[in-house]
């Protein structure tokens, strides 16, 4: 139990540090400096990936659809990698500034460490807990149509209508032993 609390604490601290680094990066992009272009590109890419992941998921939910598990996993990995890229460019930008106060460099480094730990834990947990655990079946004993089958628990399987290789439809059946 204490290990779980430590992991949750690291993830929460990393999330708060990530929000602080995003606000700092927006501030650094607005001020004149040398590395603004790369930092701006990483921020725009992060915003785009978050919009596709969450905005697309919201639109699909309104239509009775959702992302398949592997798409969610790829989007999560892309967001994590882009976030780490943004953290790298924030560190480079703060280190290169002559007007940065000394404590700010240490604070940005500490926040970056928390963000990296939280990102690794979050992405690792998503892969460990079955981001990739759906498959397409042509027909089985519960349905004659093509379905996306997800393992949703121990001895539990849920079938969704197959839409395409990116999206699954509404729930068709749920099997539990």
* pLDDT of res. 36: 77
Q: Are residues 170 and 103 in the same domain?
A: no
Q: Are residues 61 and 148 in the same domain?
A: no
- Beta bridge pairs of residue 147: 137, 161
The per-residue b/e assignment along 21-33, b for 16 or more CB within 10 angstroms, e otherwise, is bbebbeebbeeee
Q: Are residues 151 and 107 in the same domain?
A: no
Q: Are residues 114 and 55 in the same domain?
A: yes
Range of the domain at 171: 134-176
Q: Are residues 121 and 140 in the same domain?
A: no
Cβ-based neighbour number of residue 177 at 10 Å: 6
Q: Are residues 14 and 57 in the same domain?
A: yes
Q: Are residues 147 and 75 in the same domain?
A: no
CA separation for the pair 57, 59 (Å, rounded):
6
* pLDDT of res. 62: 92
Q: Are residues 124 and 138 in the same domain?
A: no
Dihedral over Cα of 94, 32, 17, 104: its sign: positive
* pLDDT of res. 12: 75
* pLDDT of res. 112: 83
> At which of 128, 146, 168 does a domain end?
128
The per-residue b/e assignment along 112-128, b for 16 or more CB within 10 angstroms, e otherwise, is bebbbbbbeebbeebee
Q: Are residues 120 and 143 in the same domain?
A: no
Name every residue whose Cβ is closer than 8 Å to that of residue 75 and which is 6 or more positions away in sequence.
49, 52, 53, 67
* Residues of the chain below pLDDT 70: 1, 33-35, 126-132, 139-143
Q: Are residues 77 and 144 in the same domain?
A: no
Q: Are residues 39 and 11 in the same domain?
A: yes
* pLDDT of res. 59: 92
CA separation for the pair 56, 142 (Å, rounded):
30
Going from the C-alpha of 169 to that of each of 39, 112, 131, 162, the distances in angstroms are 38, 39, 17, 6
* pLDDT of res. 48: 92
* pLDDT of res. 116: 82
Number of domains composing the chain: 2
Q: Are residues 26 and 97 in the same domain?
A: yes
Query: Do residues 6 and 114 make contact, with C-beta atoms less than 8 angstroms apart?
Result: no
């Amino acid at each position: 139990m204490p290990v779980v609390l430590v992991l949750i604490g690291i993830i929460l601290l990393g999330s708060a540090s990530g929000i602080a680094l995003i606000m700092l990066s927006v501030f650094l992009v607005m001020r004149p400096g040398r590395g603004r272009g790369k930092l701006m590109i990483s921020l725009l890419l992060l915003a785009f990936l978050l919009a596709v992941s969450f905005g697309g998921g919201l639109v699909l939910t309104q239509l009775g659809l959702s992302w398949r598990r592997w798409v969610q996993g790829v989007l999560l990995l892309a967001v994590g990698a882009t976030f780490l890229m943004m953290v790298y460019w924030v560190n480079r930008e703060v280190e290169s500034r002559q007007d940065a106060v000394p404590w700010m460099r240490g604070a940005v480094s500490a926040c970056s460490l928390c963000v990296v730990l939280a990102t690794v834990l979050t992405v690792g947990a998503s892969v460990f807990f079955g981001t990739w655990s759906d498959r397409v079946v042509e027909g089985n004993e519960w349905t004659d149509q093509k379905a996306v089958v997800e393992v949703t628990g121990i001895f539990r399987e849920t079938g969704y209508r197959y839409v395409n290789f990116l999206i699954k439809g509404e729930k068709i059946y749920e099997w539990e032993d």
